[in-house]
Amino acid sequence: MLPLPKKYFVTAAAAEGETRLTAFDGALLAARVGNTNLLRVSSILPPGCEYEPGLVIPPGSLLPIAYGSITSSEPGELISAAVAVGIQAEGFGVIMEFSGRCSKEKAEAEVTAMVKEAFRIRELELCEIKLAAVEHVVEKIGCAFAAVPLWY
């Protein structure tokens, strides 16, 4: 059995690259998770998981992470990514991710609405939302990335 993560933070960043992969890599670096091995997870924040915005993940770590990203090679295109964590009183939470060809404000509205719906369908009381979002105007090849890294 894998241990439950005990800490998390929210992050969002964007970058340009010479290729789609290096644009994604640059966004990961700017979001403070670029020197880890991402293990993509779905949308649940474990009960009791504590928010730690300054959390440093050791390089090379296998990192559980929920994220949304978009990469574009259309110069002038506006791209955005956002994540939101909805939290109930007992600390259990739901994570939602969004990315698209839209403004940061639109991405924030989308993830916020998804968190509210997730709590409604679970019949849980939403106490708090933590959010991170970024927008980027593509120069050559750009990536927008938003994530919730989970740590032990």
Q: How many domains does the chain have?
A: 1
Q: Which helix (H) or strand (E) holds 109?
A: helix 104-122
| Beta partners for residue 100, in sequence order | 80
Residue 97 has a pLDDT of 98
- Specify if 1 maps to a domain: no
Backbone angles phi, psi at 108, to 5 degrees: -60, -45
Q: Is residue 2 part of a domain?
A: no
Angle CA 136–137–141, to nearest 5: 95
- 92 within domain boundaries: yes
pTM above 0.85, yes or no: yes
Q: Which of 18, 37, 105, 139 is catalytic?
A: 37
Q: Indicate if 37 belongs to the active site.
A: yes
**Low-confidence spans in the chain with pLDDT less than 70:** none
Annotated catalytic residue within 69, 72, 80, 97: 97
pLDDT of residue 91: 77
CATH of the domain at 113: 3.50.20.10
- What is the distance between the alpha carbons of residues 10 and 108, in angstroms, rounded to a whole number? 13
Residue 146 forms part of a structural domain: yes
User: Is residue 79 in a domain?
Assistant: yes
Annotation says 50 is catalytic: no
Angstrom distance (rounded) from CA 92 to CA 36: 25
Is 42 catalytic? The answer is: yes
Active site residue 80: no
- 112 and 26 Cβ atoms separated by less than 8 Å: no
Q: Which domain holds residue 33?
A: 7-151
- In DSSP terms, which residues pair with 145 in a beta bridge? 13, 69
pLDDT (0 to 100) of residue 89: 87
Q: Which of 43, 61, 77, 103 is catalytic?
A: 43
pLDDT at 28: 98
**d(C-alpha 35, C-alpha 19), whole Å:** 18
